[in-house]
Amino acid sequence: MRTKVPRNFKSSDMNLYDETTDPKHHLNNFKSRMYLADASDATRCKAFPTILTKSAMKWFDSLPPKSVTSFDDLARKFLTRFSIQKDKVKHAPSLLEVKQEVGESLRDYMERFNKACLKIQDLPTEAVIMGLVNGLREGEGPFSQSI
């Protein structure tokens, strides 16, 4: 921690880690940005807490003094602590849970449905169609008509 950060070092402007996403993905983003900045091991250790929210920062602050020997060591400790937070893998049947809400416009529903589709790898077209139609509210779909 006594190592000086170079004057020309620019802290990363990435999203803060808030314990709701995959820590490995977050760590890889951080590593990539530090690699591009040509940051030293010590600078990476000093910059890492700047991408944590308050709750994750509590974990960082609770590390015993001199317990981190390198950035790789810090990364291992971070992953060990937060690995339970990995993104849950989504599958096609999860689209059946996406329903058009009362009063929700078709455009808003389609936007939300499309976002859900993007979280699923190798999604068959048939599953998209089935999920989309299943989630439409009766009387509010594209083929409904007023009487």
Q: Give the residue-averaged pLDDT of 62-86.
A: 89
Q: Are 52 and 15 in contact (CB under 8 A)?
A: no
CA gap 100, 132 in Å, rounded: 9
Q: Are 93 and 128 in contact (CB under 8 A)?
A: no
CA gap 3, 122 in Å, rounded: 47
Phi, psi of 17 (to 5 degrees): -80, 120
Phi, psi of 48 (to 5 degrees): -55, -45
pLDDT of 27 reads 92
pLDDT of 147 reads 36
- Give pLDDT tens digits for 7-26: 666 666 778 888 877 888 88
- Give pLDDT tens digits for 136-147: 887 655 555 443
